[in-house]
Amino acid sequence: MKLSYLSETLIGSEIVKLGGEIREKIRQGERIYNFTVGDFDPAIFPIPKELEDAIVEAYRKHFTNYPAAEGNLDLREAIRSFIKDSEGLDYNNQEILVASGGRPLIYALYRAICDKGDKVIYAVPSWNNNHYTHFVGGEHIVIQAGAGNNFMPTADDLRPHIKEATLISLCSPQNPTGTTFSKAGLEAICDLVLEENQRRTDTEKKLYVMYDQMYWHLTYGDIQHQDPVTLRPAMRDYTVYIDAISKVFAATGVRVGWSMGPATIISKMKAILTHIGAWAPMAEQKAVAYYLQNRNAIQQYLAHFKSEIEERLRRIYDGLMQLKNEGLAVDAIAPEAAIYLTIKIDGVGKADRQGKKLETQADVTAYILNTAGLAVVPFYAFGAEKTSAWYRLSVGTCKKEEIEEMTGKLREALQQLS
């Protein structure tokens, strides 16, 4: 059956494939430490009680009709107030667009800005930029970010590619790495964008930045979130933010997200989403509008939530550093943000006790899953090179009592390699 070029050229998801293998192992009764999903176990990390109650109450009040295409006015006003107070960014209601989470907003932004053949710059490992670029028929300009800079792209990485580029896709805190832009690093990128746009004439398409800051509330220790417009106010004309309640309130299934950016771009994104219908449900919009005004409840929730996430990240990090000190082939980047830990597991070229040699990094991934029961997502599933030994470990479903047990299983599995 002949279908569209798009449907026939879509790239399969390594994460979905790995997820299927994990579900089958769990179904067969195997003990799996599943640190793959960028989601939360509601039994461990429930959404805020005040938000839950507000959602239920909204349905009881029969808020079940269509919402406004751009998002209900009360929600956009609540977002405006919340972002201004918490981040210092001031966007008016016409510069805010609400949708059912971040994904439709990212899609709409790509569609609003990019034409077929336009250059889209993104670093890897990163989440889904390759797919969105494919959707619009863009030219993929892929930056291979490395461990030396915590897998965050630099201005020097971008500089050779920005001429005639249309979009730079940035994310901080970064999925999958859980790392962040430094102030100086992001300032240098902003200066590069501003310089390029000043060079372009009024008849040329400008260079825009998508700034995905879905995890920005979840930073740890001395790490501070940085954003383009705060650092360089002139970036306001060229930056579109992607944000949501999905991660900050463990509310991935509630589906309320928003973009902030130039009114011209936001209006075009709205027009695109009007035809798609990817609106956040009316009741959830009403509930989020109510909850965002309850600053005390938000602060209390975040204090506990962040503490629990950070404890898991640091305990796993410390456990891996102990394995490294024992001479085993593992490494990790100290936790900075989000719900992710960047870890490294080397093993290519070694053999297990049966003499089977691990020829590729995919073999290593399979080995640690089958031998240690440890399920993590390889960076090559996020566009990195197939030889990359780095992985994303997510703690959104992690039980504290699993950590020491998992570390022990990984130790045993690595000790068996020679």
- Give me the pLDDT at residue 290, please: 98
- For residues 99 and 258, the answer to whether their CB atoms sit within 8 Å is yes
Residue 14 has pLDDT above 90, yes or no: no
Bigger pLDDT: 253 or 14? 253
- Give me the pLDDT at residue 233, please: 98
Query: Which top CATH class is 5-45+299-415?
Result: alpha beta
Residue 11 has pLDDT above 90, yes or no: no
CA 84 – CA 310 distance, rounded (Å): 26
- Give me the pLDDT at residue 68, please: 97
- pLDDT tens column, 206-237: 999 999 999 999 999 999 999 999 999 999 99
Region of 101 on the Ramachandran plot (φ > 0 left; ψ -120 to 50 alpha; else beta): left
Question: Residue 29 in 3-state DSSP?
Answer: coil
CA 416 – CA 151 distance, rounded (Å): 30
Task: Please state the rounded mean pLDDT for residues 106-124.
Answer: 98
- Give me the pLDDT at residue 367, please: 94
User: Which residues belong to CATH 3.40.640.10 in the chain?
Assistant: 49-294
Residue 18 has pLDDT above 90, yes or no: no
- Give me the pLDDT at residue 22, please: 87
- Give me the pLDDT at residue 1, please: 77
Task: Please state the rounded mean pLDDT for residues 248-264.
Answer: 98
- Give me the pLDDT at residue 229, please: 98
Task: Please state the rounded mean pLDDT for residues 82-98.
Answer: 97
Average pLDDT, the chain: 96
Burial class (CB in 10 A: 0-12, 13-18, 19+), 311: middle
24-28, 304-308, 320-324: range with lowest mean pLDDT: 24-28
Q: Which of 68, 106, 124 is nearest to 244 (CA)?
A: 106
Contacts 24+ apart (CB under 8 A), 64-70: 64/282, 64/283, 65/282, 66/279, 66/282, 67/98, 67/279, 67/280, 67/281, 67/282, 67/285, 69/270, 69/273, 69/274, 69/279, 70/96, 70/97, 70/98, 70/266, 70/270
Task: Please state the rounded mean pLDDT for residues 336-361.
Answer: 95
Whether residue 173 is preceded by a cis peptide bond, meaning omega within 30 degrees of 0, is: yes
29-33, 190-194, 315-319: range with lowest mean pLDDT: 29-33
- Give me the pLDDT at residue 100, please: 98
- Give me the pLDDT at residue 21, please: 82
Percent over 70 (pLDDT), the chain: 100
User: Which residues belong to CATH 3.90.1150.10 in the chain?
Assistant: 5-45+299-415
- Give me the pLDDT at residue 246, please: 97
Residue 51 has pLDDT above 90, yes or no: yes
Contacts 24+ apart (CB under 8 A), 18-25: 18/365, 18/375, 18/377, 18/381, 21/369, 22/369, 22/375, 25/369
Residue 347 has pLDDT above 80, yes or no: yes
Residue 17 has pLDDT above 90, yes or no: no
Outline where 209-294 has alpha helix (H): 228-231, 263-276, 282-291
Beta-carbon count within 10 A of 275 CB = 8
CA 71 – CA 78 distance, rounded (Å): 11
CA 129 – CA 323 distance, rounded (Å): 34
Question: 3.30.450.40, 2.40.50.140, 3.30.930.10, 3.40.640.10: which CATH number matches 49-294?
Answer: 3.40.640.10
Confidence class for position 269, pLDDT limits 50, 70, 90: very high
- Give me the pLDDT at residue 101, please: 97
Task: Please state the rounded mean pLDDT for residues 45-64.
Answer: 98
What residue has token string 């059956």?
Answer: 1
- Give me the pLDDT at residue 37, please: 87
- pLDDT tens column, 356-386: 999 999 999 999 999 999 999 999 999 999 9
- Give me the pLDDT at residue 312, please: 98
- For residues 96 and 77, the answer to whether their CB atoms sit within 8 Å is no
- pLDDT tens column, 276-299: 999 999 999 999 999 999 999 999
- Give me the pLDDT at residue 19, please: 77
